[in-house]
Amino acid sequence: MTNTNTLLDAAFRKAISQSLGFEADPLIGLSQNETFGDYQSNAAMGLAREVAQRSGQKTNPRAVAEKIIAQLDLGNMAEQVTIAGPGFINIRLSPVWLADQLTARSGDNRLGIDPAAHPRKVVVDYSGPNIAKQMHVGHLRSTIIGDCLARVIEYQHNQIIRQNHLGDWGTQFGMLIAYLRSQSQDTDARQDITDLEEFYRQAKKRFDELPTFAEEARNTVVQLQAGQSAELAAWRRIVDETRRHYQPIYDRLGVSLKPEHERGESFYNPMLQQVVEDLLSQGIAIRSEGAIVVFTEGFENPLIIQKSDGGYLYGTTDLAAIRYRAQKLGATRIIYTHDSRQAQHFAQVFATAARAGWAAGVSLEYAPFGTMLGADGKPFKTRSGDTVKLKDLLDEAEERAFGLVSQKNPELDEAHRRQIARAVGIGAVKYSDLSKDRTSDYVFNWDKMLSLDGNTAPYLQYVYARIKSIFRKAGKLPSPSAGRLQLDTPQEQALAKHLLRVGEIVESVARELKPHLLCAYLYDLAVRFSSFYENCPVLQSEPEIRQSRLALCDLTARTMALGLDLLGIEHPEQM
């Protein structure tokens, strides 16, 4: 079903070309102020200049707006079209048209959200923890935001290729394998590396203190890179052990990353030499002080792609990954959700790939995010100044949510309360991240994220559960999608207009890569629903009105559920 903004866009384009004699973008947007209308066209101001230029005669935006309106055919869509201020054209949708549109959507399980007109193959590169290190809060943001974007874009019927670009290769493995070997001469023996961080720390300590060990570590890297089986086996053990740490976190977060989505840095290792050679032969890379580097306009420091000792770097791997994703996987859009501190890195990598011709027809998009801060405004740490372990964070979220749920629902048995608390606690952590514009830093605050009022997951989950309880009370009534909607009160109209917008929102999230737009939409939905529910009796009203209001309740619940699904947040039936 076509989105309202698209319908308006088409009608205005036609009116512009008929009235002014040339084509132009009508600049349709939501109204700034609902008292004037629901949508507005902001084009008349710019068009007045263009008309004057073309005709050599002065004109003003209001006159242009009037000409456009004279040709505008919106059928029964609009109740009112007015000109405001310097020449904004405001459109107020007609309640009858709204009711028709929503009635049509109530039987549609996609709620009117269209698949992409031209589905693409889209790679989303997210999470990317580093082997033998704890996942930190930066990886949490990348994981949550990336997962949401993958879900939204997938919902539009694009083919999503999730890529977990693990940091699983590099010189540190020489040290780790050598350390593993030093603990037992037999790398196959089951060493205790379950506390990987401690293992890493000890290995590093030895590396720094013992020159003979450092030497051995360097030799071990060479063995590993040469594909020696003992070294490879030890490496694999370390990778597997790390996976045992992060996979449960993904599962607990309800994130759709599975082992088959792993494409660690090691995967690209065999392609790196070719990458460097090709960049050299195209004259894009040059030798500088023994290393091989690529200079990019606007950047003072070059991207180093091969060190003087022959080692490759993070950027070399990313270049190989782009080439692989574009040429072998056939992706036409590649999205990276990573920390904004990697902005320079991705800018240089993208520019280099473009110059090399590896990304022709592919849009390379970097969706950076800011830092998660503690109450003190500094990067989020434990009280003792350590990085916060994700597992501890999620445990605390569930525990706090359990308190909240127990308070609200003392009569439910404990297992049930635990189950709800998991959805609420994990949902709260994810939502507090997703609901902020990702480009800014944000302050992690337990009380705010678990509050039942405001723009939080528990509030949305609560509204959803409340609607579900209406249906439990309603008992056996005709299916809510039977019959036609009737939008008589301002609250019903306000809710209906908002319900109709969900497709527009999904589109803008997929385009702008901003999950917070969806969160803001769902929060607004919850607020509008609450106002409707306070002002418009549902179960107590006359059968015909009751039927229509139940249909609005049902559409709200389904829209909320779909929105939360796209965010990767659960929605229990009861709360």
Residues at the interface with ligand ARG (CB under 6 A): 125, 128, 130, 165, 167, 318, 321, 336, 338
Which residue number, 165 or 501, has a Cβ lying nearer to ligand ARG?
Answer: 165
Which residue number, 88 or 324, has a Cβ lying nearer to ligand ARG?
Answer: 324
- 3-state DSSP call for residue 161? strand
Count of all residues that appear for the chain in the document: 575
Residue 385 falls in which region: left (phi positive, over 0), alpha (psi -120 to 50) or beta: left
d(CA 148, CA 513): 9
The answer to whether 24 touches 47, Cβ cutoff 8 Å, is: yes
Whole-Å CA distances, 334 to 14, 219, 265, 368: 35, 36, 17, 13
Which residue number, 130 or 156, has a Cβ lying nearer to ligand ARG?
Answer: 130
Q: What is the DSSP string of 195-238?
A: SHHHHHHHHHHHHHH-HHHHHHHHHHHHHHHTT-HHHHHHHHHH
Q: How far is the CB of 203 from ligand ARG (least distance, A)?
A: 19
Which residue number, 160 or 321, has a Cβ lying nearer to ligand ARG?
Answer: 321
Q: Which residue is nearest to ligand ARG (CB)?
A: 128
Amino acid identity at 257: L
d(CA 73, CA 210): 81
The set of residues, in sequence order, having a beta carbon less than 8 Å from that of 501 and lying 6+ positions away, is 3, 4, 521
Q: How far is the CB of 338 from ligand ARG (least distance, A)?
A: 5
Which residue number, 336 or 444, has a Cβ lying nearer to ligand ARG?
Answer: 336
Which structure tokens are listed for 251?
């599962």
Q: How far is the CB of 534 from ligand ARG (least distance, A)?
A: 47
The set of residues, in sequence order, having a beta carbon less than 8 Å from that of 276 and lying 6+ positions away, is 285, 292, 305, 306, 312, 316
Q: How far is the CB of 205 from ligand ARG (least distance, A)?
A: 22
Q: How far is the CB of 381 from ligand ARG (least distance, A)?
A: 17
The set of residues, in sequence order, having a beta carbon less than 8 Å from that of 223 and lying 6+ positions away, is 230, 231
Q: Facing residues of 363 across strands?
A: 333
Q: How far is the CB of 253 from ligand ARG (least distance, A)?
A: 17
Which residue number, 8 or 334, has a Cβ lying nearer to ligand ARG?
Answer: 334
Which residue number, 101 or 134, has a Cβ lying nearer to ligand ARG?
Answer: 134
Amino acid identity at 542: E
Which residue number, 180 or 349, has a Cβ lying nearer to ligand ARG?
Answer: 349
Neighbours of 108 (CB within 10 A): 12
Q: How far is the CB of 350 from ligand ARG (least distance, A)?
A: 11
Q: What is the DSSP string of 431-489?
A: HHHHTS-TTS-EE--HHHHT-SSSSSHHHHHHHHHHHHHHHHHH-S---TTSS-----S
d(CA 308, CA 171): 14
H/E segment holding residue 335: strand 333-336
Q: How far is the CB of 276 from ligand ARG (least distance, A)?
A: 18
Q: How far is the CB of 531 from ligand ARG (least distance, A)?
A: 43
Q: How far is the CB of 125 from ligand ARG (least distance, A)?
A: 5
The four Cα atoms 265, 268, 274, 279 give a dihedral, to 10 degrees, of: -50
Which structure tokens are listed for 552?
């609005």
DSSP 259: G
Which residue number, 14 or 345, has a Cβ lying nearer to ligand ARG?
Answer: 345
Which residue number, 207 or 324, has a Cβ lying nearer to ligand ARG?
Answer: 324
Which residue number, 181 or 338, has a Cβ lying nearer to ligand ARG?
Answer: 338
The set of residues, in sequence order, having a beta carbon less than 8 Å from that of 174 and lying 6+ positions away, is 217, 218, 219, 220, 221, 222, 224
Q: How far is the CB of 71 from ligand ARG (least distance, A)?
A: 50
Q: How far is the CB of 529 from ligand ARG (least distance, A)?
A: 39
Which residue number, 213 or 350, has a Cβ lying nearer to ligand ARG?
Answer: 350
End-to-end CA, the chain:
33
The answer to whether 43 touches 62, Cβ cutoff 8 Å, is: no
Q: How far is the CB of 369 from ligand ARG (least distance, A)?
A: 12
Which residue number, 113 or 276, has a Cβ lying nearer to ligand ARG?
Answer: 276
Within 13 Å, how many C-alpha atoms sit on residue 543's CB side?
Answer: 5
Which residue number, 9 or 125, has a Cβ lying nearer to ligand ARG?
Answer: 125
Q: How far is the CB of 213 from ligand ARG (least distance, A)?
A: 26
Which residue number, 124 or 525, has a Cβ lying nearer to ligand ARG?
Answer: 124
Q: How far is the CB of 314 from ligand ARG (least distance, A)?
A: 7
Pairing of strands 121-125, 333-336: parallel
Per-position b or e across 308-317, b if 16+ CB within 10 A of its CB: eeeebbbbbb
